[in-house]
Amino acid sequence: MTELLQNHLGGRWVAGSGAGTALFDPVLGHELVRVDAAGLDLRAGFAFAREQGGAALRAMSYRERAALLAAVVKVLQAHRDDYYAIATANSGTVKNDSTVDIDGGIYTLSAYAKLGDGLGDRHYLLDGEPARLAKEPVFQSQHVWVPTRGLALFINAFNFPSWGLWEKAAPALLSGVPVVIKPATATAWLTQRMVRDVIDAGVLPAGALSVVCGSSAGLMDALGPLDVVSFTGSAETAALIRSHPAVTQRSVRVNIEADSVNSALLLPGEAPGSEAFDLLVKEVAREMTQKSGQKCTAIRRVFVPEALYAAAGEAVSARLAKTTVGNPRNEGVRMGALVSRAQLGAVREGVAYLQAQAETLHDGAAHPLVDADAAVACCVGPTLLGTRNAAGSDASDRVHDTEVFGPVATLVPYRDAAHALALVARGQGSLVASLYGSDAKALARTAIELAPLHGRVHVISPEVAAHHTGHGNVMPQSLHGGPGRAGGGEELGGLRALNFYHRRTAIQAGTATLAHLA
């Protein structure tokens, strides 16, 4: 019997009462560990987090809580080798892809530790200047941000078990709000191990950090009116969360990151072999293959002028053809596995669904697997599809409506700039779009046109070729989220992330009283 991972709730480690759900190596097929949350007293555990963890965190200043984040960073850095081994075994990722998740999470914690230190010894934040309420300035209104008295429940996705945890937990803990994490079951091992290391190190107050592995049943039921919940995952699950009585009746605040059919757009006026053209090709191939395309920010649609369709298809396909796929333990492999057989089946079904309206420019099924048994391993090569011409781009509704969560993208030709923007808009809101070109004025104008449809617009021109952070790389300094189909949520964005974990209140008082707030 494999190890049953414990949950941490109510300030103690506790095992579920069931047999548990097995987690597997997606390349070798071996059972690794089991997770189970059956029989947990969620209400009591949540109450402990609010009353004990929350009170202890709020008693500290922002600077003191920033020091806690810095201490967590040191704990995680001391165990990085263990985390990489778990990522290889449970997520099937090559080392470079594990770095995005593991070191990306640690970097985000470090960034918020620095931001928090700059907030000083305050216990609340001012929002703007006082506003006069009467003819004389003796009675005014001052808005303040104060930490919510509830907890933050994070229901996370399978693709980033480290970064997905810490990019949410960092601003929550810095705000003074205790955290309960529900990682996706398939890759819960890394999240649980990181939480275990931090808890065992004793760097956080009791109740500040909890983890529940296994079924999510009952989690939303245990939420109170001052709690917040942040979800990353499918639109279907997001709809269930939004319709739960905790939200509709108790007004629990919700942040959602859901499906996203992200875009890359090459502006008119570029030629094959130009620097902007080559930057697009390089970034598309990287986004398709990094983490086997299992990124909420990955490029799904690639828009190019109709005259460049053939050249772009050939260039991207040539890069993809060099990608070795298989066992991430083999140093020659550049792309590992999908996380499960279920995900492999979903990607294959998604590709077939898109192929009904698109041609295949590069067939991922043609990639041989290195050190992996195709009957066992959850591996699939990168697939590039295309809509052939501008008329096909208009007619292929599936390309604009469907996100295949794997190494799959579709090349979409457009007639002119207006047509390109109209096609991008058919994604109904996305996390990110990237722009490629050499005309700074045109890039700026197009970025503003795309802004209402995206949480982030990533502009790549020759001047930033060696310096940009990547289409799909989420940096803590910039907003992460998107309107419409992408969920309508906002995360990160520097100190903006703290807003979700605070309550804004107007204090109306005399100037002498307000002076003490400042």
Catalytic residue numbers read 257, 296
Give the CA count within 13 Å in the CB-facing half-sphere of 449. Answer: 19
Give 502's strand partners: 147
Do residues 462 and 275 make contact, with C-beta atoms less than 8 angstroms apart? yes
Dist CA 224 CA 47 (whole Å): 9
CA distances from 253 to 34, 103, 173, 240 (A): 32, 29, 17, 14
β-sheet with 209-211: strand ranges across: 12-14, 7-9, 209-211, 179-182, 152-155, 228-232, 253-257
Distance CA 200, CA 13 (A): 10
446 in Cβ contact with 435 (< 8 Å) = yes
CA distance from start to end of the chain? 59
The angle subtended at Cα 214 by Cα 213 and Cα 218, nearest 5°, is 100
Task: Tally DSSP H helices, then E strands, for the chain.
Answer: 17, 24
Q: Please list, in sequence order, all residues whose beta carbon lies within 8 angstroms of the beta carbon of residue 290, skipping any fewer than 6 positions away.
A: 96, 97, 100, 298, 472
| Structure tokens that stand for 56 in this block | 């202890």
Tell me the DSSP string of 40-99.
--HHHHHHHIIIIIIHHHHTS-HHHHHHHHHHHHHHHHHTHHHHHHHHHHHH---HHHHH
Say how far residue 49 (Cα) sits from the centre of its chain. 24
Contact 307, 403 (CB under 8 A): no
Are 267 and 230 a contacting pair, CB within 8 Å?
A: no
Alpha-carbon gap, residue 253 to 267, rounded angstroms: 39
Q: Are 406 and 385 in contact (CB under 8 A)?
A: no
- Residue in 415, 417, 395, 428 with CA at minimum distance from that of residue 300: 428
Please state, in angstroms and rounded to a whole number, the distance separating the CA atoms of residues 172 and 501: 6
Sheet of 299-305: strands edge to edge? 359-362, 383-386, 408-414, 299-305, 262-266, 430-436, 454-460
Backbone angles phi, psi at 27, to 5 degrees: -105, -50
Distance of alpha carbon 122 from its chain centroid, rounded? 30
